Amino acid sequence: MKDVMDDINRWQAEKQPVALATVVQTWGSAPRKVGAKMALTPDGRIAGSVSGGCVEGAVFEEGTAALQANQPKLLHFGVADETAWDVGLACGGTIEVFVEPLDTAVYQFIHTLIQNDEAGAAITIIRGLEELLGRKLAISRAGEQVGTLGDAALDAQAIAAEAKAGHPQRVQLSDDVEVFIDTVRPAPTLIMVGGVHIAIALTSYAKTLGYRTLVIDPRRAFGSDERFPHVDQLIQAWPDKAFAEVKITPETAVALLTHDPKIDDPALKIILQERPFYIGALGSRKTHAKRVERLRGYGFSDEQIGRIHGPIGLDIGAQTPEEIALSVMAEIVQARSGK
């Protein structure tokens, strides 16, 4: 939603009707992921995309028709259909796109969540009885909600499904109702323990991908402003004091980069009791094996220790600090996407 919000806000200020198209499912090599959005107005303005250019023309026509009829529609494009060749989706993929008039109340609710970096979801009925099609319910992780899918029972089913979702997906609630759960997640945070050379490059990669970045290092020569002018937060303290200032959430990744037990082990004792989505620790297999034995000695279970990615990073043959940082960032992205 973020990539179309500025345009939607401007069009709404101009009192323009707005239609929203959302990718609700993909198969094969479809060029945009589930949740990708395109906003449009009847006078020909477009923001975002649902296919990287393949089906935008057809989606625009269906979007303007949805505005005129005030009726949403589920669209299917794929190489098995004649329509696919008409719109140019010859890349071997198939997508389904839901087009609808913009629901202003739900949009404002989701807009506020994004602006406040809070979690929540917009849940939309995309298949079912005609009178239910397009009904929407927006919820926040704090328990606030706007709209309804039609009755309290459906709303409760949808909220329960959203709690298990974690990412945008379609869910069959009953024989008659299928919904698309469009999740909103706070911006992720990457905590780096150790202001080493790898962390300098890793900070840059993380910020490019929209992560908030934080470096912890008690050693002044390593954890200095001169080395990290681009980091969002720098804490020059030992891990026990530093993590007292830091909140670890399911949107947090932690990379331990010193391979010094005096720094990494105290950090791990704290981190392994929390639920970050990623924990990685620098060091060879031999170094990691010794780390595992120390952690067992501290009383951690094999299940807890198994959450650590060690040696850290994907095996891409990385040699330089920048290449190692790239392998770490790739592994973090992989962990967050659930792949």
Fold adopted by 189-337 = Rossmann fold (3.40.50)
Choose between 223 and 320: higher pLDDT: 320
In this structure, the number of other CB atoms found within 10 A of the CB of residue 275 comes to 11
Q: How confident is the model at residue 293 (pLDDT cuts 50, 70, 90)?
A: very high
**Per-residue confidence (pLDDT) for residue 85, from 0 to 100:** 47
Element (H, E) at 204: helix 197-208
pLDDT digits (tens, 9 = 90+) for 247-263: 898 899 999 999 899 99
Q: Is the pLDDT of residue 212 over 60?
A: yes
**Per-residue confidence (pLDDT) for residue 30, from 0 to 100:** 64
**Per-residue confidence (pLDDT) for residue 176, from 0 to 100:** 87
> What are the extents of the domains in the chain?
2-101, 104-184, 189-337
Q: How confident is the model at residue 313 (pLDDT cuts 50, 70, 90)?
A: very high
Mean pLDDT of 129-138: 93
Long-range contacts of 10-15 (CB under 8 A, 24+ apart): 11/39, 11/41, 11/45, 12/104
Q: Is the pLDDT of residue 190 over 70?
A: yes
Q: How confident is the model at residue 84 (pLDDT cuts 50, 70, 90)?
A: very low
**Per-residue confidence (pLDDT) for residue 337, from 0 to 100:** 84
Choose between 15 and 53: higher pLDDT: 15
pLDDT digits (tens, 9 = 90+) for 6-41: 999 999 999 999 999 999 998 766 667 899 999 999
Q: Residues 75-111, buried b or exposed e (16+ Cβ, 10 A)?
A: bebbbeeeebeebebeeebbbbbbbbbbbeebbebbb
- Rounded to 10 degrees, the C-alpha dihedral 106/162/309/237 comes to 50
Q: Is the pLDDT of residue 72 over 60?
A: yes
**Per-residue confidence (pLDDT) for residue 296, from 0 to 100:** 96
Of 56, 34, 55, 35, give the one whose Cα is nearest residue 45.
Answer: 56
Q: Is the pLDDT of residue 172 over 70?
A: yes
**Per-residue confidence (pLDDT) for residue 338, from 0 to 100:** 79
Choose between 117 and 277: higher pLDDT: 277
Q: What is the pTM of this model?
A: 0.74
Q: Say if residues 29 and 40 touch (Cβ distance below 8 Å).
A: no
pLDDT digits (tens, 9 = 90+) for 271-284: 999 999 999 999 99
> 337 — phi, psi (to 5°)?
-80, -15
Mean pLDDT of 318-325: 96
Omega cis (within 30) before 188: no
Q: What percent of the chain has pLDDT over 90?
A: 79
Of 90, 114, 86, 93, give the one whose Cα is nearest residue 183.
Answer: 114
Q: In DSSP terms, which residues pair with 169 in a beta bridge?
A: 181
Q: In DSSP terms, which residues pair with 145 in a beta bridge?
A: 139
Q: Say if residues 201 and 325 touch (Cβ distance below 8 Å).
A: yes
Structure tokens at 263: 């720094």
Contacts of 205 (CB under 8 A, 6+ apart): 325, 326, 329
**Per-residue confidence (pLDDT) for residue 92, from 0 to 100:** 55
